[in-house]
Structure 1
Amino acid sequence: MGFQLEAVILSLLLYVFLFADQTKAEQFITNATTSSIDRNSGGGCNIFRGKWVYDASYPLPYDYSLSCPFIDPEFNCQKYGRPDKLYLKYRWQPFSCHLPRFNGLEFLERWRGKKIMFVGDSLSLNMWESLSCMIHAWVPRAKTTFFKKGSISSVTFENYGVKLFLYRTPYLVDMVNEKAGRVLKLDSIQQGNAWRGMDILIFNSWHWWTHAGNSQPWDYMQEGNKLYKDMNRLIAYYKGLTTWGRWINQNVDTSKTRVFFQGISPTHYEGRDWNKPSKSCYGEKNPFFGTRYPAGTPMATVIVNNVLSRIKKPVYLLDITTLSQQRKDAHPTVYGSHHSGTDCSHWCLPGLPDTWNQLLYAALIN
């Protein structure tokens, strides 16, 4: 009964946010996550609030498009024909402090013998490949081992014993083939056994919750013994993420494992989101430089902040949403090995995920 009441309350909250003043909604989100963000950034500096600045020294040693053995061809924009490199020249500058530059050698030494796992969808793949390539750019002659089996992939830097894992699971909760069909179980995480024993866990989920029609990989949702053909996707996301939060509380020893949640990564298919209704991300060469992104804060962010606020264990939010909204120029668009259409949801490598990893690095060293 309590969970049903909670879902009703959330529905009302979503209604209020959908029709209320966007500025007040965004202020609520900022206030609700300030303590989590401050714990990430150290010293009271909010590293997630800032602006993009042009920096001629960029991309430092991270233009790994032709040298990194781990980069997926669909994200390799330079190799597959993107004519401009301006999108690589922007650096994230927090308003009240300086973001430490990533040092791959220091990362390896600091986390020698440790296991790091990204858990989530293709945005987690973006971030995992980025970190692997950023480290490789610092130690290009280091012995590495690549492994892939089923949902798990890994890159190991053998000289340091650092293992970077990726566990592909778009919903975090379980997807099971049953007699009824493909069932998304909103209250089950059996696959979580594969996430145990890590020193750092970075979770991500949202991208696939909105998919419908032929791109929807499930036939039913299930909660308890009840099957649903469909439900409000924000409510479903809330239920699934609440199950994940419960799993963290019950299964993670945060004295041994640091847990992060990667915030909502935006798409740029609709130019009206930045006041250019006739455009998409295709051909964009510059970030959005306004002080307030016209589309406002994604509703999924409300869900993330609500769930994180109720987890008893420390989970640190990588609050990438606003800084990523501004990077309409950083998508693969049509520049990749097998894009059948314009890709305005994933990100070029090198590119924006390098900044996400720089923010992760800043959180880890503070």
Structure 2
Amino acid sequence: MVRGKKMAFIGDSVARNHVDSLLCILSQEEIPKDIYKDSEDRYRKWYFPKYDFTLKMIWSRFLIVGEERMVNGSGSSIFDMQLDKIDYDWAKEFPHLDYAIISDGHWFFRLMYFHIAGKLVGCLYCQDPNVKNYNSDYPFRMAFRAAFKHINTCTKCRKTVTLVRTFAPAHFDNGGWNNGGYCNKTSPMNVGEVNDGVFEWQLRNIQMEEFERARNEGKKKGQRFEVIDVSRAMFMRPDGHPGEHWGNKWMKGYNDCTHWCMPGPIDLWSELLLAVLKRSYDATRMMSS
């Protein structure tokens, strides 16, 4: 299904987490050539010669343009978000891809100012007078809507199958990542323990709403959208994070309850990816015959 193809994961560090899992699985068949790595290890490219298959990681925190304000040469954790402008780093690569797995979400919980057509339209977590304050679901929705709109209006992108991976929740208990939160559970939840009312589930539903909108529009233009819905399964795996054992030398004392251990529950995402690719591949073959 991927012989002679190009596949890219577009998103944040959780998308990279998925790529690393997939690489471990595929390397049992063939060890790829590591053909590109940028200075920050965010943009990566691997090549599998036996199958002429290229796998990429394209870093994009927001899918749209989001620029951090700098203060005395250092980051301020304040972002100016251009809700109507696509992140060029992934947009320029997209027409050359056969498969694109898009995900994002964990960066949308910072102080932000929202701009449309160059005008300030609101903010997140700001206390500025006369500026409308939104919840983080607003920029999240607008980012996916803008990304999907770009794909559907891109005449050079018709060969690309867009796969949306839904939001994978973190599991911090008794605090956040930077104020003592931890994840010490040692077994999965059962179905009855999953709370569909939590905010992370709302983010998943926003993605699904925007996905359905984009897919319906894409059908008119020959654009193909698929979904890899991992949210409910990952809600049930609070035991699957590195926690205090992530070995980060720059941020000692913090727990990682956002990313996923390998091998572990994140490997399921690649099983679901395979199933979706097979369904799309079979449908394409039926249409061509």
TM-score (norm 2): 0.76
Aligned counterpart, 1:299: 202
What pairs up with 1:303-314 in 2 under 5 angstroms? 303-311=206-214, 312-313=217-218, 314=224
Aligned counterpart, 2:100: 201
Aligned counterpart, 1:175: 66
Aligned counterpart, 2:284: none
CA distance in 2, matches of 1:252, 1:359: 28
Structure 1 or 2: more strand by fraction? 2
CA distance in 2, matches of 1:328, 1:177: 31
Would you say 1:350 and 2:263 are equivalent positions? yes
CA distance in 1, matches of 2:52, 2:231: 32
Q: CA deviation at 1:265?
A: 0.5
Question: Any gaps of 5 or more consecutive residues in structure 2?
Answer: 72-77, 125-133, 219-223, 280-289
Secondary structure, aligned partner of 2:110: coil
Aligned counterpart, 1:9: none
Aligned counterpart, 2:274: 361
Task: Give the 4+ runs in structure 1 shifted more than 6 A.
Answer: 177-181
Secondary structure, aligned partner of 2:164: strand
Secondary structure, aligned partner of 2:96: coil
Secondary structure, aligned partner of 1:261: strand
What pairs up with 1:165-314 in 2 under 5 angstroms? 165-176=56-67, 182-191=79-88, 192-212=91-111, 220-227=113-120, 228-230=122-124, 231-251=134-154, 256-270=159-173, 282-294=183-195, 296=197, 298-311=201-214, 312-313=217-218, 314=224
Aligned counterpart, 2:47: 156
**Is the 1:173–1:189 Cα contact (8 Å) retained in structure 2?**
yes
CA change 1:291–1:285 in 2 (3 A) is same
Q: CA deviation at 1:267?
A: 1.0
CA distance in 1, matches of 2:63, 2:82: 10
CA distance in 2, matches of 1:266, 1:166: 21
Q: CA deviation at 1:182?
A: 5.0
* 2:195 partner letter: P
**Is the 1:117–1:200 Cα contact (8 Å) retained in structure 2?**
yes
* 1:147 partner letter: Y
Structure 1 or 2: more helix by fraction? 1
**Is the 1:281–1:331 Cα contact (8 Å) retained in structure 2?**
no
Higher RCO structure, 1 or 2 (CA under 8 Å, sep 6+): 1
Alignment partner of 1:315 out of 225, 229, 233: 225
CA distance in 1, matches of 2:147, 2:67: 17
Alignment partner of 2:239 out of 329, 332, 336: 329
Alpha-carbon RMSD: 2.6
Q: CA deviation at 1:295?
A: 5.4
**Is the 1:332–1:344 Cα contact (8 Å) retained in structure 2?**
yes
CA distance in 2, matches of 1:296, 1:165: 35
* 2:98 partner letter: D
Q: CA deviation at 1:255?
A: 5.2
* 2:258 partner letter: S
CA distance in 2, matches of 1:152, 1:259: 19
* 1:342 partner letter: N
TM-score (norm 1): 0.61
Q: Provide Cα deviations, 1:264-313, integer angstroms capped at 9, x if missing partner.
A: 111111379xxxxxx96533221002335135451112211221121112
CA distance in 2, matches of 1:316, 1:235: 23
How many pairs align?
Answer: 243
CA distance in 2, matches of 1:255, 1:347: 33
